């Protein structure tokens, strides 16, 4: 097979910023240690690039969602450092956990029974305190199958930590009741936003995710968290439009006069969704120059106005403005979505 040519999309991951963010969140966690949520391929930014940076910064506990994520993370850390949030839902999950050594998060009585029957020992335990996703109900904490678990981390998950909401206090109170009802080694409640709620929410272990990768989960973190992901795309053709000519599907943009435009190699298949388009004042960047998007975003391409930059041409790279809080405001996508929708066609720098 011939060597693949260089892609016309690239994504620079600032490993120093990632390490800084983990250290900052660890420090903000006070006497608690910060773990790292690395599920979904480190929120789309790549396990092989992100896990080593956080491991070397000091992270010791790593959270994933699915069992098929274990192998990639275990290439960089001990399997015993990996917590699988979805838990052992099948006998195959249990067998894999026992063979590999990754630690399951028990979320239900049926999972607890399955783990016991297979001779499983150390596990984590999720208790639902109000978000109504995974986790045993608080009244189930007294069940013999739960009480007999050897629990490392007893955890719950905040539903509204990114806003001022009375539910935060209610969940905290519920969690305090729960941790007194089941023996455990560590307790964990706070995600990125929960860390910013203060020491009452930190317990022994915090579980930052979004803010590791540059997301601002609460305003208190705005001066602390650094941008991590920097996507770029190349101009693959330039065109000269005449007055009255249109651009893209549904002829959404019509040139008011002669203008030079560039076709850029990025589209919604790469996570650059139509919410970036010209109707929301979307643009790409070259240095300090803002290059407005023209017409609709296509699957593989967008078109930008090059009127202000006649020097740019085919092969020149343009930056996608990916400061997550700003991009979220512009596109109405959540900061989580902006990270995880990035496609697989980027070349990593």
Helix axes 47-57, 15-28, angle to 10 degrees: 50
Residue 155, classed as helix, strand or coil, is strand
Q: Cα 150 to the chain's mean position, in Å? A: 30
Tokens (6 digits) for 49: 């690039």
CA-based Rg of the chain, rounded to a whole angstrom? Answer: 23
Contacts of 318 by beta carbon, 8 Å cutoff, 6+ apart? 232, 233, 234, 235, 262, 264, 284, 285, 286, 291, 304, 312
Describe the chain by its helix, strand, coil percentages, rounded to 5: 35, 25, 40
Q: Cα 53 to the chain's mean position, in Å? A: 15
249 is catalytic: yes
Ranges assigned E (strand) in 280-340: 283-286, 289-294, 302-305, 317-319
Cβ atoms of residues 295 and 277 within 8 Å: yes
Cβ atoms of residues 63 and 74 within 8 Å: no
Cβ atoms of residues 156 and 129 within 8 Å: yes
Contacts of 308 by beta carbon, 8 Å cutoff, 6+ apart? 289, 290, 291
39 is catalytic: yes
Residue 211, classed as helix, strand or coil, is helix
**Catalytic one among 39, 43, 322, 336?**
39
CA dihedral 187, 193, 195, 197 (to 10 degrees): -100
**Catalytic one among 182, 249, 268, 296?**
249
Provide the annotated active-site residues: 39, 249
């Amino acid at each position: 097979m011939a060597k693949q040519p260089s892609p016309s999309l690239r994504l620079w991951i600032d490993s120093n910023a990632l390490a800084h963010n983990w250290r900052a969140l660890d420090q903000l966690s006070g006497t608690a240690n910060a773990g790292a949520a690395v599920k979904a391929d480190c929120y789309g930014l790549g396990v092989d690039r992100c896990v080593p940076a956080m491991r070397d910064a000091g992270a010791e506990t790593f959270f994933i969602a699915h069992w098929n994520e274990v192998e990639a993370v275990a290439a960089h850390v001990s399997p015993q450092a990996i917590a699988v949030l979805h838990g052992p839902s099948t006998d195959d999950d249990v067998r894999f956990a026992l063979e590999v050594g990754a630690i399951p998060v028990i979320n239900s009585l049926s999972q607890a029974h399955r783990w016991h029957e297979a001779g499983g020992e150390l596990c984590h335990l999720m208790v639902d305190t109000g978000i109504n996703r995974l986790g045993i109900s608080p009244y189930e904490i007294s069940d013999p199958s739960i009480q007999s678990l050897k629990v490392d981390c007893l955890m719950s998950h905040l539903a509204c930590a990114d806003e001022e909401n009375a539910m935060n206090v209610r969940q905290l109170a519920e969690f305090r009741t729960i941790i007194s009802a089941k023996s455990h080694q560590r307790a964990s409640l706070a995600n990125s936003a929960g860390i910013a709620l203060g020491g009452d929410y930190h317990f022994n272990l915090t579980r930052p995710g979004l803010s590791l990768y540059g997301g601002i989960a609460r305003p208190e973190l705005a001066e602390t968290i650094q941008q991590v992901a920097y996507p770029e795309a190349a101009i693959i053709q330039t065109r000269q439009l005449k007055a009255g000519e249109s651009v893209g599907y549904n002829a959404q943009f019509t040139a008011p006069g002669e203008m030079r435009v560039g076709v850029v190699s990025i589209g919604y298949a790469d996570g650059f969704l139509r919410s970036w388009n010209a109707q929301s004042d979307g643009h790409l960047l070259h240095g300090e120059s803002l290059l407005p998007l023209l017409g609709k975003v296509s699957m593989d391409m967008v078109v930008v106005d090059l009127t202000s930059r006649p020097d740019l041409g085919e092969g020149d790279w343009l930056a996608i403005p990916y400061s997550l809080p700003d991009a979220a405001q512009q596109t109405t996508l959540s900061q989580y979505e902006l990270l995880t929708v990035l496609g697989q066609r980027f070349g990593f720098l």
